[in-house]
Amino acid sequence: MAMAVPKQELRALGNTGLKLSSVGFGASPLGSVFGPVSESDAVASVREAFRLGINFFDTSPYYGGTLSEKMLGKGLKALGVPRNEYIVSTKCGRYLEGFDFSAESVTESINESLERLQLDYVDIFQCHDIEFVSLDQIVNETIPALQKLKEAGKIRFIGITGLPLDIFTYVLDRVPPGTVDTKGVGVISGSPLSMGLLTEFGPPEWHPASPELKSACQAAAVYCKEKGKNISKLAMQYSLSNKDISSVLVGMNSVKQVDENVAAATELALFGKDQERSNPEICEESDMAEWNSTKLTNGIQLYFYYCMHIFLNIGY
């Protein structure tokens, strides 16, 4: 008798009416950002994610120079299910060639993304990493252009992504009246594993973290492994435990990774966070209690929320 597949927790994304799986499928690895990925592996990972209840898939033309969108599009098409059974977000403004948030560029960008994704519309269209450009352009040119795309039926909701929190308040305070309901803003955690920092294998060479932080994270990973724990699982559960986050995006490019991530979420839902991590006796016999109040955890915590996604509630 086949084992029942546990249902993923669904969380509301602000007042958009969208309900996202608590674990979201981060498709950047499908663009071979962290290493080569075959088309068959990409399609299989998307299929497995959907089978296990993941309904939210996130990508960008920046990931792998559009390869991520192409691979995700093939995976979604292979599902053979009605379009309204999954939620797709992609981005605009950041490309391998550089940044361009002009109205003309973002309009062209959505058309090209839809072609690569083999879709008629995306549920969420995000301004990608706005801290690197003029925020006034985002407010006065980009968002109005995206509103027109929404009216044309090519996108359903608009989002902004980035690292510094003050960029979000700047934009939210300046968009036209009625554009955003501040009580209904949805938040997504964009990198719970900190682009490889919080893994046993460590980050890729291009990772922007300081050598000190990379070293501290590797020390933490080794410590967790010695205790029979996986730092990636703990990091993901840390983000998932915050109910104010609508979905935690985790990069995946294999069936094995999908299974492990869903298992970690299921364990958290059934039993709560890893009990050993909160056991004061274990913290005392190691140096974990000291780490919890010093640079190691502070540094890691910063990267737990490396890329926040804020969604503007622009009508329905």
Q: Is residue 4 part of a domain?
A: no
| pLDDT attached to residue 179 | 64
Q: Is residue 71 part of a domain?
A: yes
Question: What are the Cα distances from residue 168, in Å, to 90, 218, 303?
Answer: 18, 31, 17
Q: Is residue 56 part of a domain?
A: yes
pLDDT band at 304 (very low <50, low <70, confident <90, very high): very low
Q: Which of 29-43, 68-82, 160-174 has the highest mean pLDDT?
A: 68-82
CA distance 111 to 145: 13
Domain, as residue range, for 172: 10-312
Of 281 and 76, the one with more pLDDT: 76
CA distance 90 to 307: 14
Number of Cβ within 10 Å of residue 284's Cβ equals: 11
Number of Cβ within 10 Å of residue 155's Cβ equals: 26
Of 269 and 251, the one with more pLDDT: 251
Q: Is the pLDDT of residue 24 over 90?
A: yes
Q: Which region among 141-155, 179-193, 203-217, 284-298 has the lowest average model confidence (pLDDT)?
A: 284-298
**Which is it for strands 19-21 and 10-12: parallel, antiparallel or unpaired?**
antiparallel
Q: Is residue 207 part of a domain?
A: yes
Q: Write out the two tokens for 70.
A: 């192409």
Phi, psi dihedrals of residue 18, rounded to the nearest 5°: -80, 140
CA distance 136 to 295: 35
| pLDDT attached to residue 180 | 61
pLDDT band at 244 (very low <50, low <70, confident <90, very high): confident
Q: Write out the two tokens for 187.
A: 């938040």
Q: Which of 100-114, 176-190, 274-288 has the highest mean pLDDT?
A: 100-114
| pLDDT attached to residue 287 | 39
pLDDT band at 20 (very low <50, low <70, confident <90, very high): very high
What pTM did the predictor assign?
A: 0.82
- pLDDT above 90 covers what percent of the chain? 50
Q: Is residue 5 part of a domain?
A: no
- Mean pLDDT across 148-161: 95
- Mean pLDDT across 104-118: 99
User: Looking at the annotation, which residues are catalytic?
Assistant: 63
Structurally, the chain folds into a number of domains equal to: 1
| pLDDT attached to residue 232 | 82
Tell me what the pLDDT averaged over the chain comes to. Answer: 82
CA distance 23 to 20: 8
- Mean pLDDT across 222-232: 87
Place of tokens 């300046």: 174
Q: Is residue 3 part of a domain?
A: no
- Residue 115 CB contacts under 8 Å (≥ 6 apart), including other chains: none
DSSP 2: P
Number of Cβ within 10 Å of residue 62's Cβ equals: 23
Give the CATH number for residue 249.
Answer: 3.20.20.100
pLDDT band at 186 (very low <50, low <70, confident <90, very high): confident
Of 71 and 207, the one with more pLDDT: 71
| pLDDT attached to residue 314 | 39
